[in-house]
Amino acid sequence: MGLFGAKQTVTYHVAEMNCGHCEKKITTALEGVAGISKVKTTSSDKRLVIEYKGEAPVDLESVNAVLEPVGYVASRYVAGE
């Protein structure tokens, strides 16, 4: 894929995400954050994928500053966990 077609993503783990309602709360909370272009949540593997704009991904501290008030905490995602 070319330079302009490449998607930049970062993946986090959200242990408390257990259902579709959780997915929606997390997605809604993060959708308006500067630098985030798309949010995908999957409760079956507790994965949060953030597509971002710019050179650097949205850092974990910034993600948690948005998620903690709605009852969730993200952590570094490790495949297979």
Predicted confidence band of residue 80 (pLDDT cuts 50, 70, 90): low
Level-2 CATH architecture, domain 9-76: 2-Layer Sandwich (3.30)
What is the rounded average pLDDT for all residues in the chain?
Answer: 89
Predicted confidence (pLDDT) at residue 81 exceeds the cutoff of 60:
no
* Bridge partners for 51 per DSSP: 9, 38
Which residue, 45, 50, 59, 49, is CA-closest to 17? 45
Q: Where are the domains of the chain?
A: 9-76
> Residue 26, exposed/middle/buried by CB under 10 A (0-12, 13-18, 19+)?
buried
Q: What is the pLDDT of residues 6-17, one digit of tens each?
A: 679 999 999 999
Q: pLDDT at position 43, please?
A: 97
* Bridge partners for 42 per DSSP: 47
